[in-house]
């Protein structure tokens, strides 16, 4: 089963390595060297940064991502607008009261 697991930097790199069949070192090297601002200075901005990064990476490695069976996404799905991360990134068990407060606020008055 092919999964994208973004729980940590290590799990994300491991997932991307399996998804693209590319060594983790090559992925890290690309991410360290690629400057999206310099890229857009030379090229019209047709796509959002995340999509453009993917397209450039796929062109570099000569392949597209393999079809995923599962995706595990963590932090951004629990981040309300204006978050400062002053307490760091919390595990769901610690963040759950804030998650419920956010859900209730989102639907207040509806």
pLDDT tens per residue, range 13-70: 999 999 999 999 999 999 999 999 999 999 888 888 888 999 999 999 999 999 888 8
Is there a single domain that holds both residue 24 and residue 10?
yes
* One domain, residues 10 and 28: yes
Cα(69)–Cα(89) distance, rounded to whole angstroms? Answer: 26
**Residues 60 and 85 both lie in one domain:** no
Structural domain boundaries enclosing 27: 3-71
C-alpha pair distances (Å), 86 with each of 80, 82, 90: 13, 11, 10
Long-range contacts of 12-19 (CB under 8 A, 24+ apart): 18/66, 19/65, 19/66, 19/68
Give the separation between CA 33 and CA 88, rounded to whole angstroms.
27
Average pLDDT score over residue span 67-89? 72
Rounded CA separation 51/6 (Å): 17
pLDDT (mean) for 58-84: 79
Instruction: Indicate if 80 and 61 belong to the same structural domain.
Output: no
Please indicate, yes or no, whether residues 64 and 81 belong to a single structural domain of this protein: no
Q: What is the pTM of this model?
A: 0.62
| Whether residue 67 sits in one domain with residue 37 | yes
Q: Residue 20 in contact with residue 63, Cβ under 8 Å?
A: yes
Q: Please tell me whether residues 11 and 41 are part of one structural domain.
A: yes
13 & 56 share domain: yes
Residue 87 shares a structural domain with residue 61:
no
Which residues have a Cβ under 8 Å from the Cβ of 50 and sit 6 or more positions away? none
Residue 88 pLDDT > 80: no
- Domain count across the chain: 2
Residue ranges in the chain assigned as alpha helix (H): 9-20, 24-33, 36-42, 49-61, 92-106
Residues 63, 88 within the same domain:
no
The verdict on 22 and 54 lying in the same domain is yes
């Amino acid at each position: 089963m092919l999964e994208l697991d973004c729980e940590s930097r290590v799990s994300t790199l491991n997932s991307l390595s399996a998804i693209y069949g590319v060594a983790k070192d090559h992925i890290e090297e690309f991410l360290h060297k690629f400057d999206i601002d310099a890229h857009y200075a030379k090229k019209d901005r047709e796509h959002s940064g995340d999509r453009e990064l993917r397209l450039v990476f796929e062109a570099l490695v000569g392949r597209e991502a393999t079809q995923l069976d599962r995706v595990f996404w963590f932090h951004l799905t629990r981040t309300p607008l204006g978050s400062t991360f002053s307490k760091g990134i919390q595990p769901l068990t610690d963040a759950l009261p804030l998650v419920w407060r956010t859900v209730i606020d989102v639907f207040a008055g509806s």
